[in-house]
Amino acid sequence: MLNIVIFGAPGSGKGTQSERIVAKYGINHISTGDVLRGEIKGGTELGKLAKSYIDEGQLIPDELMIKILASVLDSFKDSKGVIFDGFPRTIPQAEALKKMLKERDQDITVMLDLEVPEEELMTRLILRGKESGRADDNEETIKKRLLVYHTQTAPLVDFYKTEGTYQYIKGIGTID
């Protein structure tokens, strides 16, 4: 089993690199952001709730997010492994993921931390907002998301360093 956490600030290239890794290793991909955007598109109750957080640049509560992740994980059959993209984003989520995998006799193989300078993140996200029309890719919400990243998500670097699975990746230059 190859279980990868792809990590980094919004705009660091998690989605782009996940696609490459999936194509190369044939593992499943969970993007919690994509799952939530799918719910919003479908007009579900979960989507309505998620939208209220996403539009504010805030995180969906851990308990709910962990339930969503568990159900996606359960839907994979004969999986060779999973790349977790956008999850975990908090310490409780990282602990829950560890527990969920342990119950399946698995663990995280590696955590890839895509490091990108802040000005570059802002440029990329504003461009993505223009090209894709993603509602949360506007300057005001991006600033909130980066703040949430630094306060709530960045502490996971130390969590995975302690786990011994942390790997720094330079997230600028060519995609390759």
Comparing CB distances to ligand AMP, the nearer of 77 and 134 is 134
> Contact with ligand AMP (CB under 6 A): which of 2, 46, 49, 59?
59
Q: Which of 4, 5, 65, 82 binds ligand AMP (CB under 6 A)?
A: 65
Binding flag, residue 68, ligand AMP (CB under 6 A) = no
Q: Are 157 and 165 in contact (CB under 8 A)?
A: no
Q: How many residues contact ligand AMP, by CB under 6 A?
A: 17
Q: Whole-angstrom Cα distance, residue 26 to residue 16?
A: 15
Q: Which residues contact 1 (CB under 8 A, 6 or more apart)?
A: 79, 80, 81, 106, 109
Q: Could you give the residue numbers annotated as active site?
A: 14, 89, 128, 134, 145
Contact residues for ligand AMP, defined by CB under 6 A: 10, 32-33, 36, 53-54, 57-60, 65, 86-87, 89, 93, 136, 145
